Amino acid sequence: MQIDIFTLIPSAFDWMCERRPLAAVLGSGLDLRLFNYRETTPLSARQVDDEPYGGGAGMVLRVDVVAAAFDAVYGGIPERRVIALTPQGRQLDQPLVEELAAEESLTLLSARFEGFDERIIEHMSTDTVSIGPYVLSGGEIPAMALLDSIVRRLPGALGSEESGLIESFSEELDGGLEYPQFTRPAEFRGWKVPEILLSGNHARIESWRREQSRIRSAG
């Protein structure tokens, strides 16, 4: 899979590249490229944003700046899904993650300030995605959340001890929440691990876990 991220803070993604799951697939299952709008802006003094027409607070990412970045990287608007990260977008959930993880290539656009000139959304993006109904100061954290959720679905991203098959929202749990997990010690400050998990009876453990998952998912 090939993922390009356009951002004003490429270094924000550094730590992710050094850790699993991203580190495990970089250069094998995943080709990741980071581009800084400032490197290709046609404006002087590395300007990328401007005041909103009609007035108002904050600055808006300019359409000509994103067009110049696309020209430099793709020679125009690319033939692939281009996802603008914005609180007005389609809310990210596991089905959308699975859908995006199945793409050959993706482009993610993050903006800081008040967001994108609407023409970037209308003419240069195919999708808008929000990571939740709240406003962050920029699209980098949303881009990281989206990147991580996609990358952990790629083959080899997770170690064998974490298959990613049985986890919250997976088909295995009928799209529900994962059951509670415990590890040693079996008792700590009087807080005990459920007896059944220590029983060694795998069939009973399995049905207890499914029941717990159902209870949690029912809220």
Contact footprint for ligand ADE (CB under 6 A): 85-87, 130-132, 134-136, 139, 142
Q: How far apart are CA 206 and CA 164, in angstroms?
A: 17
Nearer to ligand ADE, 87 or 164 (CB): 87
- Shortest reach from residue 68's CB to ligand ADE, in Å: 22
- Cβ neighbours of 6 (radius 10 Å): 26
Shortest Cβ 208–ligand ADE spacing (Å): 36
Task: Please list, residue by residue across 166-177, b when 16 or more beta carbons sit within 10 angstroms of its beta carbon and e when fewer do.
Answer: eeebbeebeebb
User: Minimum distance between the CB of residue 141 and ligand ADE, rounded to whole angstroms?
Assistant: 8
Min CB(106)–ligand ADE separation in Å = 15
Q: Which is nearer to ligand ADE, 81 or 216 (CB)?
A: 81
* Shorter beta-carbon distance to ligand ADE: residue 86 or 149: 86
Strands, E assignment, the chain: 2-7, 31-36, 49-50, 60-61, 81-91, 105-109, 115-116, 127-130, 187-188, 191-192
128 or 170, CB closer to ligand ADE? 128
